[in-house]
Amino acid sequence: MCLAIPSKIVKIENTIGTIDVAGVKREISLLLLENASVGDYVIVHAGFAIHKIDESTAMESLKYLRELGSIR
Amino acid sequence: MSIKYMEEYRDPEISSKIIESIKKLSQKKVRLMEVCGTHTMSIFRSGIRTLLPDTISLLSGPGCPVCVTAQREIDAFIELAKEDDVILTGFGDLMRVPGTDSTLQKERAAGRDIRIVYSALDALEIARKNPDKKVVFSGIGFETTAPTIAASILSAKKMGLDNYLVFSAHKIVPPALAALMETGEARIDGFMLPGHVSVIIGTKAYLPFFEQYQVPCVIAGFEPADILQAIFILVKQIEAGVLKLENGYQRAVVFDGNEKAQKMMHDVFETVDAVWRGIGTIPKSGLKIRKEFESFDAQKIFDVTVSDSKEPEGCACGEILIGLKTPPECPLYKKACTPVDPVGPCMVSTEGTCAAYYRYCI
């Protein structure tokens, strides 16, 4: 149910966005999102974008994970 | 092609280092519950169970939407599908769940108009194209799905569609966590909280639960490194005796959650007591369509009478859902109950614990 593949918005028309996941395109609803823009990475659930990924937060948490892996 | 924000979290080098850190840290025997069915699948697929030290047991919880849906609700969907002017729509997982006497799949084979959709908006489109039919959406799922259904009802209202209806059997997660702690039977030492429910409700939604029960909690993402990080956080809290509610899925979950989605959900639904398979009635754990939107409420429009709903005899789904049993402890597992011919919902759904055990050969 919870497909967690971050998808890139490549087109927006009214409340419908087109996402691209590794070359596969499909339409999603943007009704549950504030301020979606082309180029945003979003998490999609049951045909709706439910979250816009903040790049800097994503980078920080990845850095934390790498550090976590090097605890001695 | 690499997928941004995902491949990194599948990096075996990162994962194996986190496992080493967990092994160094873990002394006490702990029972950790992953609440979400997608976590269960990811844990099995990545082999995490086999890599953890013996001190850590993972339990699967009541986070598979199809699995916790009460037998009565499954039977109601089947009854609705038998109405002549109805097109029943819903997510694919529901099709093969055995009701007391039938399944949606069998009803479809018998000629009933039952359609699998990917999104509630697809159901809306079916309603638009079939004005002489009533298109009913079988609404199951948690806070991740409920706002999408709310959005579909709001859209139907805006479009003036009067033949779109929802049978809401939606459930919400925090009251179920409390119910698990209240019974105490599963002896849970820490919770891995569902990632995408948390995208919607935010970390804040678990605060009352955490404050009342003082049990370690961490919101977890779905990739192997996310799950291992969550386990590490829980073990660290338990070993240090410092219990916290933490967010281990920061790229997707913020403290306040998705407020726009919450508002839509609250505009359309109100909480109501609900029956969960395996747990029973949990106060204020279900979502009912508000009076203002009752013309979209299939339960108001149809008089669905379900007589004598019965859970399948011998099926241990209920106990498996609350961490009391594992699938191999069910007498039907791999014998009378297989993915090809499932007896209970935990074997039907791709997120079901029994299906996960079966697929990964335990």
Comparing A27-41, B3-17, B93-107, B269-283, which segment has the lowest mean pLDDT?
B3-17
Distance from CA of A68 to the nearest CA of B (A): 6
Q: Given this model, what pLDDT does residue A72 score?
A: 44
**Of residues B21 and A65, more confidently modeled:** B21
Q: Check A2 against B222: CB less than 8 A apart.
A: yes
What is the pLDDT averaged over residues B259-278?
A: 96
Structure confidence at residue B350 as a pLDDT band (50, 70, 90)? confident
Q: Given this model, what pLDDT does residue A30 score?
A: 97
Measure CA of the first residue to CA of the last residue in chain A; give whole Å: 37
Q: Does A20 touch chain B (CB under 8 A)?
A: no
**Of residues B89 and A7, more confidently modeled:** B89
What is the pLDDT averaged over residues B294-314?
A: 90
The yes-or-no verdict on residue A69 having pLDDT over 80 is no
Q: Check A4 against B264: CB less than 8 A apart.
A: no
What is the pLDDT averaged over residues B237-241?
A: 97
Q: Tens digit of pLDDT for each residue in B164-210? A: 999 999 999 999 999 999 988 889 999 999 999 999 999 999 999 99
Residues in chain B with CB shorter than 8 Å from the CB of A60 are 250
What is the pLDDT averaged over residues B85-93?
A: 95
Chain A residue closest in CA terms to B65: A1
Residues in chain B with CB shorter than 8 Å from the CB of A23 are 1
Q: Check A32 against B258: CB less than 8 A apart.
A: yes
Distance from CA of B252 to the nearest CA of A (A): 6
- Which overall architecture, per CATH, does domain A7-68 show? Roll (2.30)
Q: What is the residue type of A58?
A: A
Interface size between A and B, measured as CB pairs under 8 A: 131
Q: Given this model, what pLDDT does residue A55 score?
A: 80
Paired with B134 in beta bridges are B86
Q: Given this model, what pLDDT does residue B7 score?
A: 76
The yes-or-no verdict on residue B362 having pLDDT over 50 is yes
What is the pLDDT averaged over residues B37-48?
A: 92
Structure confidence at residue B36 as a pLDDT band (50, 70, 90)? very high
Structure confidence at residue B1 as a pLDDT band (50, 70, 90)? very low
What is the pLDDT averaged over residues B335-358?
A: 92
Distance from CA of A18 to the nearest CA of B (A): 15
Q: Over chain B, what HEC string results?
A: CCCCCCHHHHCHHHHHHHHHHHHHHCCCCEEEEECCHHHHHHHHHHCHHHHCCCCEEEEECCCCHHHHECHHHHHHHHHHHCCCCEEEEECHHHHHCCCCCCCHHHHHHCCCCEEECCCHHHHHHHHHHCCCCEEEEEECCCCCCHHHHHHHHHHHHHHCCCCEEEEECCECHHHHHHHHHHHCCCCCCEEEECHHHHHHHCHHHHHHHHHHHCCCEEECCCCHHHHHHHHHHHHHHHHHCCCCEEECCCCCCCCCCCHHHHHHHHHHEEEEEEEECCCEEEEEEEEEECHHHHHHEHHHHCCCCCCCCCCCCCCCHHHHHCCCCCHHHCCCECCCECCCCCCCHHHHCCCCHHHHHHHCCC
The yes-or-no verdict on residue B2 having pLDDT over 70 is no
C-alpha B233/C-alpha A71 separation (Å) is 13
Q: Given this model, what pLDDT does residue B306 score?
A: 83
Q: Check A46 against B118: CB less than 8 A apart.
A: yes
Comparing B60-64, B193-197, B202-206, B263-267, which segment has the lowest mean pLDDT?
B60-64
Q: Which of B96, B132, B133 is nearest to B113 (CA)?
A: B133
Q: What is the mean pLDDT of chain B?
A: 94
Comparing B185-199, B206-220, B294-308, which segment has the lowest mean pLDDT?
B294-308
**Of residues B239 and A7, more confidently modeled:** B239
Q: Which domains are present in chain B?
A: 71-172+258-301 (3.40.50.11740)
pTM across the whole model: 0.94
Residues in chain B with CB shorter than 8 Å from the CB of A20 are none
Give percent of chain B with pLDDT exceeding 70: 99
Q: Given this model, what pLDDT does residue A3 score?
A: 64
Q: Tens digit of pLDDT for each residue in B142-151? A: 999 999 999 9
